[in-house]
Structure 1
Amino acid sequence: MAQQNVSRLANKVAVITASTDGIGFAIAQRLAAEGAKVVVSSRKPQNVEKAVNQLKSDGHSDVLGVKCHVSDANDRKKLFDETIKKFGKIDILVSNAAVNPTVGSVLDCSEEAWDKIFDVNVKASFLLAKEVTPLLRKQSSGSIIFMSSYAGLNPFPLLGAYSVSKTALFGLTKALSQDLASENITVNCVAPGIIKTKFSSAMYETEVARETALSMIPMRKLGEVEDISGIVAFLASNDGAYITGETIVASGGMPSRL
């Protein structure tokens, strides 16, 4: 990992959902490396414990792990309550949790799968932002960052309903940013392209899939989780303080007009 400015997020407290693996864990690592106190969470307690231990072994002592299913109101409340109890405040929310229980076009999606996708990917992101806002207001500043996807701009053929849910986050970012701009709370969105994680492995794990993916990417390489975590750190820091309501696309040059 490249050398970081370890003071950029000093004294900031960051809550990151779905942060025990992949992009979410890389974000936790990066924010901690830049001085933030970080709260990692996921649905499985054993994954939370593993992530906390890894961060602590990396030398980050100000770390908290909380089991949280983002669609569960009690879990969300506990996530924020435990953070306040340990660190006294919250400055940054990174909403990263997402599911994709179905593969196929939009019309192939069952009502049950559609509801699950939107419950986790969109509704939970909205509720997390709604519930953290009073806590950010106490600091007279803050940062909310939604993790969307390049698929929200240009739907992938087999990710129809998932793609639509990720498009919805662009609208949520725009609307919420307008509501909070006068209060010095920024709201932004990151749209990763094809990143090497377990979540997206179907898009590159076979030689045919990998070549198909690379053919779509002008830079001819898949993204790494660090390519995304650095953007989040920038948006959460004072360097990104005058940016709100925006989506940053990190896709290796794939066309990104909606």
Structure 2
Amino acid sequence: MKLEGKVALVTGSSQGIGQAIAVRLAQEGADIIIDYRSHIEGAQETLSKVEAAGRKGYIVRADLGVVSEVRQLIAEGIQQFGKLDILVNNAGIEKNASFWEVTEADYDSVVNVNLKGVFFATQAIVQHLMETKRPGKIINISSVHEELPFPHFSAYCASKGGLKMMMRNLAIELGSLGITINNVAPGAIETPINTKLLNDPQKLTSLLDNIPLGRLGKPNDVASVVAFLASPDADYITGTTVVTDGGLLWNYREQ
């Protein structure tokens, strides 16, 4: 119970990696603010799992691409629990299109959620921690594509590359406040976003050939890393990306 007495907000925690993170942090003792945009049933499922772990949960709907909703999410979570100690910026989206066909609307939707929303959610918790004179933990769920090119997903890669540099910069700026910030970069994980891949044996086999550990990751593989970074065991770690990909990044090659 390394997070007993802590309050954590996990954005995009109604399914997949976000849900696994919320449940794992609850198992470590934290109360959880559960964020969703459109999947209320999933958010309620996350709440049930958090409560089954013996912790309190609270659901807030917010579109992470809208700064006013981001700020309201943080404010409502703090109002409910009286404080916020840990922010996990998990919510993210991607759009598949050749570069020359990307629309402004699709570009904006990806960058607004994946980068701008993270920027202002982080700003809001930092302001709270400064006002209350407390340390805190910020953990961003990035992607191997903060390093690895991903053709036809240029906006997504740009958002994750920006997230890497934002994290490194803030590690320096926030260090004197006792606030750490790190990225977790998953590779190929079994989540709803990869349903088409999981149902395409040829593509799945091709991908697995690129993963030295020979399997896709599970949401809990990512959640375990987040739990470590959120805990006192990681108090001296800031400004780094923990790649969680079964070896994919350094072994990947286009087929």
TM above 0.5: yes
Unpaired runs of 5+ residues, structure 2, are none
1:39-188 maps to which residues of 2 (within 5 A)? Answer: 39-44=33-38, 45-56=40-51, 58-100=52-94, 102-137=95-130, 138-188=132-182
Q: 2:225 aligns with which of 193, 216, 231?
A: 231
What is the DSSP-based 3-state SS (H/G/I as helix, E as strand, rest coil) of the residue aligned with 2:192? coil
Pairwise CA distance, 1:24? 0.3
Aligned to 1:210: 204
Distance (Å, rounded) in 2 between the aligned partners of 1:114 and 1:210: 27
Distance (Å, rounded) in 1 between the aligned partners of 2:97 and 2:70: 31
Q: Work out whether residues 211 and 246 of structure 2, in 8 Å CA contact, stay in contact via their aligned partners in 1.
A: yes
Pairwise CA distance, 1:28? 0.2
Distance (Å, rounded) in 2 between the aligned partners of 1:22 and 1:107: 31
Distance (Å, rounded) in 2 between the aligned partners of 1:61 and 1:182: 31
Q: 2:238 aligns with which of 226, 244, 247?
A: 244
**Which string of whole-angstrom CA distances, capped at 9 and with x for unpartnered residues, describes residues 77-120 of structure 1?**
332222222211110000111111x3134333222211211111
Q: Does 1:222 align with 2:216?
A: yes
Pairwise CA distance, 1:52? 1.4
Q: Work out whether residues 17 and 223 of structure 2, in 8 Å CA contact, stay in contact via their aligned partners in 1.
A: yes
Unpaired runs of 5+ residues, structure 1, are 1-6
RMSD of aligned residue pairs (Cα, Å): 1.7
Corresponding letter in the other structure for 1:127:
F
Q: Work out whether residues 23 and 53 of structure 2, in 8 Å CA contact, stay in contact via their aligned partners in 1.
A: no
What is the DSSP-based 3-state SS (H/G/I as helix, E as strand, rest coil) of the residue aligned with 1:157? coil
Classify 1:139/1:232 alpha carbon distance in 2 versus 1 (closer, same or farther; 3 Å): farther
What is the DSSP-based 3-state SS (H/G/I as helix, E as strand, rest coil) of the residue aligned with 2:55? coil
How many residue pairs align between the two structures?
A: 249
Q: Work out whether residues 155 and 164 of structure 1, in 8 Å CA contact, stay in contact via their aligned partners in 2.
A: no
Q: Does 1:9 align with 2:15?
A: no
What is the DSSP-based 3-state SS (H/G/I as helix, E as strand, rest coil) of the residue aligned with 1:249? strand
Distance (Å, rounded) in 2 between the aligned partners of 1:60 and 1:241: 25
Distance (Å, rounded) in 2 between the aligned partners of 1:161 and 1:256: 22
**Which string of whole-angstrom CA distances, capped at 9 and with x for unpartnered residues, describes residues 113-139 of structure 1?**
112111111111101111110112225
Classify 1:129/1:87 alpha carbon distance in 2 versus 1 (closer, same or farther; 3 Å): same
Corresponding letter in the other structure for 1:48:
A
Aligned to 1:4: none
Q: Work out whether residues 185 and 244 of structure 2, in 8 Å CA contact, stay in contact via their aligned partners in 1.
A: yes
Corresponding letter in the other structure for 1:34:
E
What is the DSSP-based 3-state SS (H/G/I as helix, E as strand, rest coil) of the residue aligned with 1:99? coil
**Which string of whole-angstrom CA distances, capped at 9 and with x for unpartnered residues, describes residues 169-225 of structure 1?**
100100111110111100100100000001123333210111011011111110000
What is the DSSP-based 3-state SS (H/G/I as helix, E as strand, rest coil) of the residue aligned with 1:174? helix
TM-score (norm 2): 0.92
Distance (Å, rounded) in 1 between the aligned partners of 2:226 and 2:46: 19
**Which string of whole-angstrom CA distances, capped at 9 and with x for unpartnered residues, describes residues 23-50 of structure 1?**
0000000000000111111113443333
Distance (Å, rounded) in 2 between the aligned partners of 1:114 and 1:76: 19
